[in-house]
């Protein structure tokens, strides 16, 4: 099974997403969005920008 994004509504009615690894573990979660479309835009932004993101080690 590959990683997947899940969209859901939280207790306050905001849309959020979480990214789950192939083993089902949550590896990222989002802020709250007022609309499903805005949430989907957040997912698409990650898909577009994550590959070119640099790693910053602050240890």
Mark 17-34 as b/e (b = at least 16 C-beta within 10 Å): bebbeeeeeeeeebeebe
**pTM score of the predicted model:** 0.83
Looking at residue 59, its pLDDT comes to 94
Residue 39, class by beta-carbon neighbours within 10 Å (0-12 exposed, 13-18 middle, 19+ buried)?
A: buried
Looking at residue 51, its pLDDT comes to 85
Tokens of 14: 């905001």
Looking at residue 57, its pLDDT comes to 96
| CATH value of 4-47 in 3.20.20.120, 3.30.750.24, 3.40.50.12280, 3.30.160.160 | 3.30.160.160
pLDDT, tens digit, for every residue of 1-56?
A: 799 999 999 999 999 999 999 999 999 999 999 999 999 999 999 999 988 889 99
């Amino acid at each position: 099974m590959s990683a997947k994004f899940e969209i859901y509504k939280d207790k306050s009615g905001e849309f959020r997403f979480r990214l789950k690894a192939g083993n089902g573990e949550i590896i990222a979660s989002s802020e709250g969005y007022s609309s499903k479309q805005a949430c989907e835009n957040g997912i698409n932004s990650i898909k577009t920008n994550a590959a070119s993101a640099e790693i910053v080690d602050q240890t």
